[in-house]
């Protein structure tokens, strides 16, 4: 039910997704969905909480396996972009309905998860400043810039388009790091789509995706 609902939200938006279409696709009654979830808001909550749990776990894995704020931020940005392919339906469903998080009490936990995620990125930027890797900047603004630019990719990115996701991720990493690092001699290596950081991200996301498939 969650997977079908997520696809409908990704394709149509939350307001146009409805229990009738979900039930018809699954060959069940609408009452079955109501029994398990009650309302669309609860379905959205379950979908988004599951999504954020996975993203936070992956982020922690990436941070544990990288050294230095520049490597960590590069890995996180690679992951942010690759979600448009690796977990596209859930990513689009999450990102296009982020406005639902603003004041819906049902989604309070998701708001906290998103705040934790943003704090994680902000702490990486702060660590880069404190250790002399990054120029002094407003880490709040920079973190919002990163999330804002990546989280609107669903509006223009085409997985079958002419620009492969690794190329786009590389450009995002290079552009962001060049605006932050004091010594940009490492940027080319960190933004290399065939480099160790990109490979770490691919391995981490593939492992997490395989584990998620087994759990389902």
Domain assignment of residue 142, yes or no? yes
- So what's the pLDDT on residue 213? 58
Would you report the helix, strand and coil content of the chain in percent, each value rounded to 5? 75, 0, 20
Domain assignment of residue 38, yes or no? no
Stated pTM of the model: 0.88
How many domains are there within the chain? 1
Domain assignment of residue 200, yes or no? yes
Domain assignment of residue 124, yes or no? yes
Domain assignment of residue 199, yes or no? yes
Q: Which domain holds residue 169?
A: 52-215
What does the DSSP assignment read for 74-115?
A: HHHHHHHHHHHHHTHHHHHHHHHTGGGGTT-GGGHHHHHHHH
Domain assignment of residue 132, yes or no? yes
- Beta-carbon contacts of 54 under 8 Å, excluding residues fewer than 6 positions away, are 87, 208, 212
* pLDDT digits 0-9 by tens, 96-138: 877 666 677 778 898 899 999 999 999 999 999 999 999 999 9
3-state secondary structure (DSSP) of residue 56: helix
Domain assignment of residue 168, yes or no? yes
Domain assignment of residue 20, yes or no? no
Q: Domain with 94 in it: what CATH number? A: 1.10.357.10
CA 146 to CA 148: how far, in whole Å?
6
Query: How confident is the prediction for the chain on average, in pLDDT?
Result: 90
* pLDDT digits 0-9 by tens, 60-105: 999 999 999 999 999 999 999 999 999 999 999 888 877 666 677 7
């Amino acid at each position: 039910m969650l997977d079908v609902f997520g696809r409908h939200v990704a394709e149509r938006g939350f307001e146009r997704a409805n229990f009738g279409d979900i039930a018809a696709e699954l060959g069940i009654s609408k009452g079955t969905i109501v029994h398990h979830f009650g309302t669309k808001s609860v379905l959205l909550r379950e979908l988004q909480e599951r999504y954020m749990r996975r993203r936070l776990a992956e982020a922690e894995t990436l941070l544990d396996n990288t050294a230095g704020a520049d490597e960590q931020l590069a890995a996180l940005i690679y992951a942010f972009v690759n979600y448009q392919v690796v977990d596209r339906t859930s990513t689009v469903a999450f990102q296009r309905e982020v406005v639902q998080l603003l004041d819906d009490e049902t989604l309070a936990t998701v708001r906290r998860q998103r705040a934790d995620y943003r704090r994680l990125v902000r702490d990486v930027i702060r660590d880069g400043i404190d250790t002399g890797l990054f120029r002094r900047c407003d880490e709040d603004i920079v973190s919002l810039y990163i999330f804002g630019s990546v989280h609107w990719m669903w509006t223009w990115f085409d997985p079958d388009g002419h620009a492969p996701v690794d190329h786009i991720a590389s450009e995002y990493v290079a552009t962001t790091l060049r605006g932050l690092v004091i010594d940009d001699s490492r940027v080319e290596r960190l933004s290399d789509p065939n480099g160790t950081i990109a490979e770490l991200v691919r391995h981490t996301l593939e492992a997490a995706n395989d584990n998620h498939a087994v759990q389902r």
